[in-house]
Each structure stands twice: as C-alpha cells, then as structure tokens.
Amino acid sequence: MKQVLFPATLEALFGLLAELPESPIMAGGTDLLVALRAAGRENRPLIALERLEEFSVIAAQPDGGVSIGPCVPFSRIMTHPLLAGRYSILTQAAGTVGGPAIRNMATLGGNIATASPAGDSLPPLYLLAAVLEISAAGGFRMLPIDRFICGPRTTLLQPGEVIRRILLPPPGAWDLQWFEKVGKRQSLAIAVASLAAMIRLEGDCVADVRLAWGSVGPTVLRCPTAEQVLIGRPLSEESLAIAADAVRETVRPIDDLRASAAYRRTVAGNLLMRLSD
C-alpha cells in the first residue's frame, strides 16, 4: 500500500517537498490516482494537501475579487455565495465535472495542475483572468493562468512549489456568462470540445466579448478574430456564423479515442452558434 503523508502546516509541507522532491502532490486525487495506477508500480509516497486548512478556503479580497484555495472541491464552487452570480461561468463549469461523488473529491487546484486540455474549469479561469499564487519555502510568485499552463499536462510549477491560492479579479459587468461542453455521452463526459463565453451588450449589439475553447488545442484556445467579428454587431445567427468560421480556422484539435480532429473543429464552431439560442 502506498504511503500517504498529510502535512497540516505550510512549514511541514515545505519540509516534505524538500525531503521528497519527486513525490506526487495530491489535492483531490481524481486525476492523479488514475495516472499513477496506469503507470504501474510506484513506491514514492504521496503528499496530500487536504489537512492544510487555508487550502480549502474561499475568501473575499480587498479589491473586490475572490481567492480560492487549491483544495476547494467543485461541489463547493457550484454553490458558494461569493461565486454564484458574479462568477457564474465558473460555477456552471463546476457543475459539469463528473457526477456528485467526483465533484465532492475533485478540486480546482488539481484541475489546474493537471493541465489537461479538457479540464472543465480552465476556459472559465482564462476568461476570468485568474492569477495563481505559487508558494515555496523561500517565498512566492504570481502567475496568470495562461502563462502557468504550457501544454498538455505541462506547467511552470517547479520542484518545491505548490499552488497556494487561485485569485479571481472582480468580474466586471457581463450580460452573459455561459459554459457548455460536448462529450461522447450526456453525463459524466470528458469534453470533446467546450466553450466559455462572457458577453457585454450595449443595446442590441455586443460591446465586449471573451471566448475560450477547451479540448481543441494543446491548451485553452482564445480566438481574437472571432471576438472582433462580434464586437459592434448584434448577437445574431449571421454574426455568429462568421465568427464560427474564424474559430474553425483557428483551432488545432487532434484525433484521439474520443473524437476526430475534424469533428472537434466542427463542434468548436457549433458551440459558438448556440449563443443565439
């Protein structure tokens, strides 16, 4: 049986990271344990973060934003009063993660650190301009999430470091916050493609828009061309169709067991068209 270590203070955590620099760090474990099982025999102990109380806190920030600890599970993100409404794009995405049992275990920090292109929380976090506080024994550094994630399961997290907080700036006034994903089945699906959208209207026309896709490239993909197409126009089928064509030209999907690249490209544009519903 694998040894699991449970530091209860930051001092104890950084001591273990220094002593066992190759040991995996576990938040919820829903992705990590599957990966370790697939890798076969693994004798290094796990360093679990669940007993660090500050890692499970959602708190208001002086600037009007919110901080979320890396061990906060998606079930709490779905319903927390500091997130509901103002950050509904994130709460919507949280509700698509697995089933109730998975949402009770899977954590926001784990989803970020796994850096899967299909991570449900990632497109909303990109649009919300989330910043990660990365801590080590000698101090900390701040990294925007779009710089932290470099590629599939690849991040800038260094040995001895841990995600300590996810910081969300004040969200601003958006008329629409929307998240949707498409999978091979209707529930408990890993995304074949997903779209996060934040839109502000002036009258009938789009005044500002942020769009981000998951599962159609090595990282979350933004499409500035599609955003520019929509600004100043009504959110109509006609304008969305033009933007969808730009998206299909921009995405960089791959073929895998869940879907072909061609199917993902089609779905990426189709998801945008659904904003007219």
Question: What span, in angstroms and rounded, lies between the C-alpha atoms of 241 and 269?
Answer: 8
| C-alpha torsion angle, residues 168, 172, 174, 177 (rounded to 10) | 0
Q: Where in the chain is the domain with CATH 3.30.465.10?
A: 4-168
Sign of torsion over alpha carbons 143, 217, 112, 23 = negative
Q: List the chain residues with pLDDT less than 70.
A: 1, 34, 37-42, 184-189, 257, 277
Question: What span, in angstroms and rounded, lies between the C-alpha atoms of 45 and 51?
Answer: 16
Please say whether the structural domain 4-168 has been given the CATH code 3.30.465.10.
yes
Helix (H, G, I), strand (E, B) or coil at 241: helix
Q: Where in the chain is the domain with CATH 3.30.390.50?
A: 176-276
Convert the pLDDT of each residue in 15-28 to its tens digit. 999 999 988 999 98
Sheet order of strands, 4-5 included: 4-5, 46-48, 25-26
Convert the pLDDT of each residue in 88-101 to its tens digit. 999 999 999 988 99
120: which 2 tokens?
């449900």
Domain 176-276: which CATH number of 3.30.390.50, 3.40.50.300, 2.160.20.10, 3.30.390.30: 3.30.390.50
Question: Left if phi > 0, otherwise alpha if psi is -120 to 50, otherwise beta: which for 98?
Answer: left
> pTM for the whole thing?
0.93
